[in-house]
Structure 1
Amino acid sequence: MRLALGIEYDGSAFAGWQWQPDKRTVQATLDAALGRVADREVKAVCAGRTDAGVHALEQVVHFDPEVQRKPYSWLMGTNTVLPEDVRVLWVREVAEDFHARYSAIARYYRYVILNRPMKSALHRRQMTWHFAPLDVEAMHTAAQYLIGDHDFSSFRAQGCQSKSPHRYMHFIHVRREEADRVVIELCANAFLHHMVRNIAGVLIEIGSGKRPPRWAAEVLAARDRAQGGVTAPADGLYLGGICYPEAFGIVRHPIFQHLPAHASRYTPDRE
């Protein structure tokens, strides 16, 4: 039997998803909680690793339990022993060929910017603060240059271990959600290390009026990280959801209704 779980977490106090010695990580925290319920060691596989300080609205993981429990028992039992900054949202039995990472056909991220003169006392770890007014229309125009199949070398971290810099960007939406809040929504078949934060850094530069929208296309064409500007902070970044083929029966986030019909052709890499 294979189980899939939807996980929500506040990444502020974590050193990222992946297990690291002597550091608090989401993976180690979740595995320990699942192990308590299973009464044996559990190792869950995630859809996409997140960095230190990055949050998740719906990370997806899978694991193969060696003991029989009802999905509700896994859900409630695991949440009982998890700390307050991690929650299991749902648990479902899935086909044995389901893989949280390799079965995904798209990933969705949100980047949230608090755009006002003063920092927030309440959301200082949940949003990136930018004091100068941002031109949302210029940011959205710039983002459209990144849509499609491209070499995103200019937007990958220098230490990125991906074998290929090519990714298919399905869409990027930039909008002002509230008077003082700007949201960047991105959906691609997969993302490179720091790719979203580097794109956000370029768009913020453009929104600040320091660069024209066309600069995004120039950075992309350069295929050189040195040309890509500043990496935006992790605080405002959220893994928003994972899209799987309908056959697996995992409910999709509403944002995926914007996916083009050909999205399933861009299968994720198996690095």
Structure 2
Amino acid sequence: MSVIEQPVSNRRVAAEVWIVLGLSLGQSAVYALVNIAARLTADTPLAEQTATLNASQSERPYLDLVYQLLSIGFALVPVALALYLLSGPGRSAVRSLGLDRSRPARDLGWGVALAAAIGIPGLAFYVLGRALGITVEVQASALDTHWWTVPVLLLSAFQNGLLEEVIAVGYLYERTRELGWNRVKFIVASSLLRGSYHLYQGIGPFIGNVVMGVVFSWFYTSPRFQPDGRRRVIPLVVAHTLLDVVAFVGYALVPAEWREALGIR
């Protein structure tokens, strides 16, 4: 009986993965693929196009705030769904994915280290992409200046980190392991997924995020960094959040002439 039930179980797991991705990063990847196709076939060269990461959604400040908070909140629903699906009797997905607070100092330390290791090469990929004409000009934030602007950008950075690392790394690893995937196959799939939903920014960010995906998924699955066998996604969330905080908020501290030279507005 088990021989008959296994393929059915695998089909259900695969269907679940497609549903979760279809509600989250997979959906973003499809839109990004269409977007990059539109950009590459447009009359305007890719290097002269712009991508806005945090756009205003209303001219009325408090209505804009409500829209921003709703957008952040609903973007985290797939995270809740993934954690729910991975949980069960006697099994907490929060604990199994390493989202608990059992090692705050170590998680923070690794998160900062990963952010530093990815941040500088990531900026280099962006600058090189701009120079080669394969990366659009990125507008990190188009929000008007209000008392809530920085807190919203910080929340947006955290939302990105939690959504991408829980779905693209933690959840996807658990489910693909059930499907019999080995570590290398998972790392390749996770990294390509991460790169694909950044394609709207151009070819350079696609390559940079694939590299980031390789580093993050390798770190998450490496026994060297998980000595007790418990994988922890929190360092990845910390690292991703720090990278986005620098991109969304820290850019304003960079001199205007430097931002212009890097193609950042």
Q: TM-score, normalised by structure 1?
A: 0.24
Q: TM-score, normalised by structure 2?
A: 0.25
> Normalized per residue, which structure has more strand?
1
- Relative contact order, higher structure (CA 8 A, sep 6+): 2
